Copies of this chain bind each other. A is one copy, B any other.
Amino acid sequence: MTPAPKNLMERRNGIALWRQIADQIRFAIGAGEFAERLPPELALAERYGVNRHTVRGAIAALVQEGVLRAEQGRGTFIEERKRFAYPIGTRTRFSEGLKDQARDRRGILLSHSIEIADASTSEALNLARGSAVLRLETVSEADGRPVSRATSYFDPARFNGFEHAYARSGSVTTALQEYGVKDYFRRSTLISARHAQASDLADLKLSPGAIVLVTIYVNVDQQGLPVQYSQTRFAADLVELSVA
C-alpha cells in the first residue's frame, strides 16, 4: 500500500497544477499503477493535495488527449496500456524490438534532403569535411500510434535514392538490404532526455511540456563501416529503453 504522497506538487514554478497532475497521472498509467479505472476525483484531490476542480482540469486534458474516458455517475476509465519497452543493443531494430508488443510497426518518411554534413555527422559517417549527406526525417508508429521521431543521415554516394527504398518498405533494415547491407550493428548509443520541441510535439501527438528520450547512435555494416547516423526522439510517456 502506497502511503498517499501528499503535497508533492510544486506551486508557482511556471507549470500549472492541473498540468503537473495530468503528467503524473499519464506517467502512472504508463507504469501500470491504475488497473482500469481511475480513483474518484475526490480521492485524487486528496492524494495530490489539491482541490477537486484542479484534478478535473487534469482529467479534462487527458480526456482530450485520448488517455482517459469519463462517464458521468460511473467513473473515469483508462483508454491505454503500458509503455513499450524498446530494446537497445548491438542489434537494435525498430520493428524487431517491438514485435511482441505491437501488431503493426512501420516507419513513415516525412521529408528528405541532401545537405552539407556538419562536423559531427561527417565524423560519425566517416566522410570528408564538407561532403554531402542524405538526411531523412521519419516517424515510426506502433499500432498506429507515433512512437518515435528520427533524423537520420546516410552517405548519398553509397545509398543513392535510399529515401525511395525507405518510403516503400517503411523499414531501414529492409531498405539497407536493397543496397546489399545484409546485416548491421549498432556501434554506440547516447541517451539523454529533454522537453519535446514544438515540431516533435506535433509529429508525436504529444501535449505541450512532454518529455522525449533522445538516442544518438551510429549503425555499422558487417565490415564495420558506418551506414547510418541518427538522432531519435521517443515519447517518454509511451516508451522506455531496455539495455540488455
Contact = CB atoms under 8 A, between A and B. Distances in A.
Interface string A225-244: 00000000000100011111
A14 B22 contact: yes
Interface stretch (A127-135, A161-169, A185-193): A185-193
Copies in the complex: 2
Nearest to A18: B14
Contact of A191 (B13, B16, B242): B242
Contacts of A9: 198
Which DSSP category, helix, strand, loop or mixed, fits chain A's interface?
mixed
Contacts of A27: 194-195, 197
Given A211-B193, A211-B194, A244-B188, A15 B16 contact: yes
Nearest to A199: B8
A12 to B, nearest CB: 9
A20 interface: yes
Given A193-B213, A213-B191, A242-B191, A61 B201 contact: no
A209 interface: yes
Interface in A12-41: 13-16, 18-20, 22-24, 27
A208 B18 contact: no
A88 interface: yes
Given A8-B198, A192-B213, A192-B236, 20 more contacts: A8-B197, A8-B199, A9-B198, A13-B207, A13-B209, A14-B19, A15-B15, A15-B19, A16-B16, A20-B195, A24-B195, A88-B243, A188-B243, A190-B243, A191-B191, A191-B241, A191-B242, A193-B193, A194-B236, A195-B211
